[in-house]
Amino acid sequence: MSGLLVVRPGPLTTIQDLGRRGVAHLGVPRAGALDEPALRAANRLVGNPPGAAALETTLGGVALRALAPVVLAVTGAPAPVRVDGRPAAWGGPVAVPQGALVEVGPATYGVRSYLAPAGGLTVPTVFGSRSADLLSGLGPAPLAVGDVLPVGPAGPWPGADLVPLPAPPAELVLRLRPGPRAHWFTAGAVAGLARARYRVAPASNRIALRTEGPALVRTREGELPSEGMVLGAVQVPPDGLPVVFLADHPTTGGYPVIGVVPAPDLAAAAQARPGTPLRFSPLRSLDREARP
């Protein structure tokens, strides 16, 4: 049968596509690949539609046995790729014969590699998506030894030979659009964010990128009644350390959001290892536009 047998799942390997939409009002997170451009690139390399489901690894790689001949591509965090022990291409299509062992090694730098087989992974969809959601447990469970991952028939489209693959950043710079709760902080808090130096905290995961650095000072005490949260929202819990919401973020939250990181910047956030220097680059507030 067509499929991939999990020989070594690595520390955390999940199935991801572009995630769920339209169900946030039921409390369902969006999920989906954290480094979306890398997922799209891997799919392009094997001739898949951009949103086909693929594997997202975390630092430690993955090992799979091909139950049928398959073409696959690995993108995202650069990592050694081997087929039956022989070096194969990272960032390009790799033809794997039936029975061969495919190994993606530990990421050389960055955090998350994406392995896309031609035809995509065809696990059942939940709300139109095959993504694992680690906040709510929707979608397929993280890979375990012995899992067989179904692979669909390869499409008629040829894969691209080469796609641009940005390197993970040595320093993470996240733009920040102030609001909706910037007024809960001291007047200088947003401006101060531009000067403050943070580091990516080890507690970061698919739900949020957590930070270490200077605490932001609130001018309002008390709890904010729960309100809807967006991808990239920078929530500030009572310890004052900004938390950047990633794909598995909760749909509502009770801590004030000082600003929102535009989605294109989050791919780099997905690849920033703990300890990576981080700073925020505030954009101008758009709330003036809201006046009639």
Partner 1 sequence: MTAEGLTLRQVGEDAVLVETDGIERATALYTELLARRGELPEITEIVPAARTVLLDGVADRPALLRQLTGLAVAPRPPAEGSLVEVPTVYDGADLTEVAALWGVSTEAAVRIHSEPEYRVAFCGFAPGFGYLTGLSRQYEVPRRPTPRSSVPAGAVALAGPFTGVYPRPSPGGWQLLGRTALPLWDVEREPPALLAPGTRVRFAPTRGSLGVPGRPTALGPAARAARDVERNPPAPDARAGLPPARQSEQH
The residue (of 165 and 224) whose beta carbon lies closer to partner 1 is: 224
Q: How far is the CB of 64 from partner 1 (least distance, A)?
A: 20
- What CA–CA distance (Å, rounded) separates 147 from 142? 10
For the chain, the residue count is 292
The residue (of 163 and 244) whose beta carbon lies closer to partner 1 is: 244
- What CA–CA distance (Å, rounded) separates 175 from 167? 18
The residue (of 142 and 152) whose beta carbon lies closer to partner 1 is: 142
The residue (of 134 and 163) whose beta carbon lies closer to partner 1 is: 134
* Structure-block tokens of residue 86: 């022989």
SS3 label, residue 41: helix
CA dihedral 221, 225, 226, 230 (to 10 degrees): -70
Q: How far is the CB of 60 from partner 1 (least distance, A)?
A: 18
**Residue 213 Rama label (left phi>0; alpha psi -120 to 50; beta):** left
The residue (of 37 and 168) whose beta carbon lies closer to partner 1 is: 37
Q: In sequence order, what are the residues at sequence separation of 6 or more whose Cβ sits closer than 8 angstroms to the Cβ of residue 239?
A: 215
Give me the DSSP letters along 54-106: EEE--SS-EEEEESS-EEEEEEES---EEETTEEE-SSS-EEE-TTPEEEE-S
The residue (of 80 and 180) whose beta carbon lies closer to partner 1 is: 180
The binding site for partner 1 (CB under 8 A) comprises 21-22, 24-28, 126-127, 134-142, 144, 177, 179-181, 207-208, 223, 225-230, 232-233, 235, 243, 249-255, 257, 260-263, 285-287, 289-292
Q: How far is the CB of 252 from partner 1 (least distance, A)?
A: 3
SS3 label, residue 36: helix
